[in-house]
Amino acid sequence: MPTESTFLLAGLFLLLAAAGWALGRFGEREEEDPPPPLNIDYLKGLNFLLNEQTDQALEHFLKMVRVDDKTIETHFALGSLFRRRGEIDRAIRIHQNIIARPDLASEQRDQALFSLAKDYLKAGLLDRAEKMFTRLSQGSRYQVEALENLTRIYEQEKEWEKAIEAGQQLEVLGGRSLALQIAHYYCELAEAAAVAKDYGAARQYVKQAQAGRPRTLRGALTRAHIAQETDDSKTALRLYHRIIDEHTYLIAEALPEIVAIYEREDAIDDLDKAFRKMLKKNPEMNTLVAYTAIVNDIGGIPVIDECVEKYLRNEKTLSEFIDMQSVAAGDDVAMARVRKALSNLASSTPRYQCQECGFSSQKLLWQCPSCRSWETQRPASRVQFDTVLQHSITGP
Ligand SMILES: [Zn+2]
């Protein structure tokens, strides 16, 4: 089967013939000149195409149509077409061919380097891409794009120090704030330091993360984790409560931790009191508290159990499956069974969804892997029955 690139090159060869290059005509020709002989490379290239030997045909095209001021745009267009079609080796070959031209103007050299760097990036050759983008970021008209690509590479490679540096340069050159993104880079460093039990460094990174505006609550969450790990329950609780007050949706992350601390401190009564106060202030949080408790199997705390029961009785889609009215109030066994079933369903459906692109996942991801936005995921507050049903119909 001829590939797309066979057709692409065949089109170019036909264009060359139409333009007269196949006949060796490059300049103006007087009327009385005899017709020039057919270009031998053209015939060879055509022959390779007919035999579907695309790479050889491409080599002949490159040999025949040398890079000069008239043809350079064709070379660039062909290179980017190959890249878009995923034929990266061919795109690289074309861009290297442009760079090899000795008398290339510096602007065109930068364009070729930028194209080649994008080829390497798409091919997953991050080291080579990084080298070229770094060079372009130091002074070319591609500075901003090069820095944007560098931050993407550093994010992939988890080189957060370098990501911070590139991000800060980008803020200056691009004239826009990347405070939130950079704050997350510091949080990544803080979390890594906390894992290595270097709590001093971790706190320092959190401080830097919190310096920017808008602030990320991930910093407070990381700080709370550190307090918890260093047995500073008082600070941890203060931070967790502050997180919930400021960004109620983060209760999905904070609730299991809060419950663990109160249980460890043997202070469930205090937890009950604190949550009743919170729910009185924000009654709309009932659903999220209940759903988080169901998913994380948190029970035995009166205020949370009341949230869950209320939630189960009010869940409209659930009532299509179970007659909740027949589950008598105080029938703990029946309620526990419904709750368990719902917990199983919830564990097989995504819990978080990106508000920018809709990407969903089971765990909270600070950076969306699909659209690369930071802090755009929000937790679900109910089981998505349509997803469950779709899942069970189409299979895993
Ligand atoms: Zn997204």
**CA of 353 relative to ligand 1 center, distance in Å:** 8
Among candidate residues 113, 128, 154, the one where a domain is terminated: 154
**CA of 355 relative to ligand 1 center, distance in Å:** 7
Mean pLDDT, rounded, for 74-78: 85
Q: What dihedral angle (degrees, nearest 10) is formed by the CA atoms of 316, 318, 323, 325?
A: -50
In this prediction, residue 329 carries a pLDDT of 64
**pLDDT confidence band for 205 (50 / 70 / 90):** very high
Task: Evaluate whether residue 169 is within a structural domain.
Answer: no
- Residues 66 and 136 placed together within one structural domain of the fold: yes
Q: How far is CA 319 from CA 22, 313, 386, in A?
A: 75, 8, 14
Among candidate residues 154, 174, 200, the one where a domain is terminated: 154
**CA of 364 relative to ligand 1 center, distance in Å:** 12
- Residues 55 and 99 placed together within one structural domain of the fold: yes
Task: Evaluate whether residue 188 is within a structural domain.
Answer: no
- Residues 250 and 134 placed together within one structural domain of the fold: no
Task: Evaluate whether residue 164 is within a structural domain.
Answer: no
Judged against a pLDDT cut of 90, whether residue 5 lies above it is answered with no
Task: Evaluate whether residue 209 is within a structural domain.
Answer: no
**CA of 359 relative to ligand 1 center, distance in Å:** 5
**CA of 356 relative to ligand 1 center, distance in Å:** 5
- Residues 395 and 275 placed together within one structural domain of the fold: no
Q: How far is CA 13 from CA 25, 84, 87, 250, in A?
A: 14, 20, 19, 60
Q: How far is CA 99 from CA 83, 108, 111, 146, 212, in A?
A: 17, 9, 9, 18, 41
**CA of 370 relative to ligand 1 center, distance in Å:** 5
**CB-based burial label for 213 (10 Å; 0-12, 13-18, 19+):** exposed
Task: Evaluate whether residue 26 is within a structural domain.
Answer: yes
Task: Evaluate whether residue 35 is within a structural domain.
Answer: yes
- Residues 85 and 146 placed together within one structural domain of the fold: yes
In this prediction, residue 37 carries a pLDDT of 54
**CA of 354 relative to ligand 1 center, distance in Å:** 5
By the 8 A CB rule, do 310 and 290 touch?
A: yes
- Residues 294 and 320 placed together within one structural domain of the fold: yes
**CA of 360 relative to ligand 1 center, distance in Å:** 8
Closest by CA to 99, choosing from 90, 89, 109, 107, is: 109
For the ranges 62-71, 133-142, 148-157, 165-174, the lowest mean pLDDT is seen at: 62-71
Task: Evaluate whether residue 40 is within a structural domain.
Answer: yes
Among candidate residues 154, 175, 196, the one where a domain is terminated: 154
- Residues 278 and 326 placed together within one structural domain of the fold: yes
- Select the highest-mean-pLDDT range: 125-129, 212-216, 285-289, 387-391: 125-129
**CA of 11 relative to ligand 1 center, distance in Å:** 38
In this prediction, residue 247 carries a pLDDT of 75
DSSP character string of 26-92: -S---TTSPPPPPPHHHHHHHHHHHTT-HHHHHHHHHHHS---TTTHHHHHHHHHHHHHTT-HHHHH
- Residues 387 and 269 placed together within one structural domain of the fold: no
pLDDT in tens, 306-332: 998 888 888 777 766 666 666 666 667
In this prediction, residue 393 carries a pLDDT of 47
**CA of 153 relative to ligand 1 center, distance in Å:** 18
- Select the highest-mean-pLDDT range: 37-46, 171-180, 333-342: 171-180
- Residues 358 and 340 placed together within one structural domain of the fold: no
Domain total in the chain: 3
In this prediction, residue 327 carries a pLDDT of 65
Task: Evaluate whether residue 221 is within a structural domain.
Answer: no
What is the average pLDDT score of the chain?
84
Q: Please identify every residue whose CB atom is under 5 Å from ligand 1, which is an ion.
A: 354, 356-357, 359, 368, 370-371
Q: Which structural domain, as residue segments, surrounds residue 86?
A: 4-154
Mean pLDDT, rounded, for 276-281: 90
